Amino acid sequence: MAVKAYVLIETQVGKTGDVINGTQKIKGVKSADSVAGAYDVVATVEVADLDALGNLVKQVHSVSGVAKTTTLIAVKY
């Protein structure tokens, strides 16, 4: 079963565009959007399992300009 999650990203000052471009290149990232509020970018991701999600988040951390992330895993009720 696929895992859907939202990765909330804080960027370094002036790096939001670079982070969006870099994040969109990662396999499993469905969208990466600039947002207003406590975070700068929200990436919607879908991967095969939790291990793949962990690997994807590691890739996000390697994008130049990423300062911090928080990952929210979607659950079904």
pLDDT tens, residue by residue, 8-67: 999 999 999 999 999 999 999 999 999 999 999 999 999 999 999 999 999 999 999 999
| Residue in 51, 36, 45, 43 with CA at minimum distance from that of residue 9 | 43
Distances (CA, A) of 36 to 20, 48, 51: 14, 30, 30
* Whether the model pTM is above 0.85: yes
